Amino acid sequence: MSENKNKHNFESEELPESSLDGFPVYEFSRPIDVTTVGKNGRQFDFKATEIEKSALALRFNVLNITLLNAKADITPAKKGQYKLEASYIVKLDQVCSISLETVAGDVSGKLTIILQHLPRQPNKQSQKKDVEIDFDFEEKDIEYINSNLVDVGELITQYISLEINPYPRKSEATGEELGQKIIQEEDQNLSSEKKNPFAVLKSLKHKA
C-alpha cells in the first residue's frame, strides 16, 4: 500500500445515521463512498470499539475479542472498478476443544477485492439480449455493489470468520482430559510400521 495516499482514521462514531440507510446493521460496519477516494486512492485505519468486539464475539462464537485492527486501501481500477486491498489482525479467546479451558489466539490476513457496480437493467429494446459481465480471472475476488457505498468493515469481517479455527486446542492438551488420547504423527508412523496380518498370511502361502 502506497504511503503517499490520503489516509483517514475511521471511527464508527463519525458515521451519520443517514449514511446507513439501506444497509443492514452489521457488527463492524464501515461504509465507504468509493467516489470519494480520488484518482490516487485513499487509505483507512479501522479499530473495533468495545461494543463492536462484543458483538463480533457472538457472531464468531468465541469467548472474547480483545483486539481488531484493520487497514484498507481503495484505488480506482479499470472500467470504473475499484480495487480494495486490506489487512487485519484479531486477538481473541476461545474454548479449547479438548480441555474446555480458555485458549488465546490471533488471526491475521490480507485480502484483495475488485469492487464493481452491477450491470444496468436492460431497457425494453434490449431485454432479449443477454447481459454480459466481464470477469478478470487474475483477480482474487469480485464484489458487486448496488451503489457507491461499500461496507468495507463487513467484507473484512467475512474474511476473518473464515480464518478462525473452529476447533482450537491448547498446546499442552493431550486428550486424557476426556479419557481419550490424541494420535500424534509419530504414533501414526509406528502403527504404519506394524505388519499387516494379511501380508503375513500371504507370505506364508508363498512359502508353502
Higher pLDDT, 29 or 127: 29
Q: What distance in Å separates the CA atoms of residue 100 and residue 47, rounded to the nearest whole number?
A: 30
Whether the Cβ atoms of residue 69 and residue 92 lie closer than 8 Å to each other: no
Q: For residue 96, what is its C-alpha cell?
A: 479449547
Q: What distance in Å separates the CA atoms of residue 83 and residue 142, rounded to the nearest whole number?
A: 9
Q: For residue 133, what is its C-alpha cell?
A: 459481465
pLDDT bin (cut points 50, 70, 90) of residue 78 is confident
pLDDT bin (cut points 50, 70, 90) of residue 83 is very high
The 82-95 sheet, strands edge to edge: 6-10, 42-47, 64-76, 82-95, 102-117, 142-145
pLDDT of 13 reads 43
**Which of 43, 34, 56, 58 is CA-nearest to residue 160?**
56
pLDDT digits (tens, 9 = 90+) for 159-205: 999 999 999 999 877 666 555 555 555 555 555 555 565 565 556 65
pLDDT bin (cut points 50, 70, 90) of residue 25 is confident
pLDDT of 66 reads 98
Whether the Cβ atoms of residue 88 and residue 109 lie closer than 8 Å to each other: yes
What end-to-end distance do the CA atoms of the chain give, in Å?
Answer: 73
Q: Kindly compute the dihedral angle of the four CA atoms of residues 153, 154, 158, 163, in this order, to the nearest 10 degrees.
A: 20
Q: Give residues with Cβ within 8 angstroms of 57, minimum separation 6.
A: 63, 64, 65, 92
pLDDT bin (cut points 50, 70, 90) of residue 19 is very low
Report the mean per-residue pLDDT for the chain. Answer: 80
Of 72-81, 121-130, 140-149, 159-168, minimum mean pLDDT range: 121-130
**Is residue 130 over pLDDT 80?**
no
Higher pLDDT, 17 or 149: 149
Task: Flag whether the pTM goes above 0.85.
Answer: no
**C-alpha pair distances (Å), 16 with each of 19, 139, 173:** 6, 33, 48
Phi, psi of 178 (to 5 degrees): -110, 15
pLDDT bin (cut points 50, 70, 90) of residue 118 is confident
* C-alpha angle 205-206-208 in degrees, rounded to nearest 5: 65
Q: For the residues 125-129, what does the mean pLDDT come to?
A: 53
Q: What distance in Å separates the CA atoms of residue 206 and residue 208, rounded to the nearest whole number?
A: 5
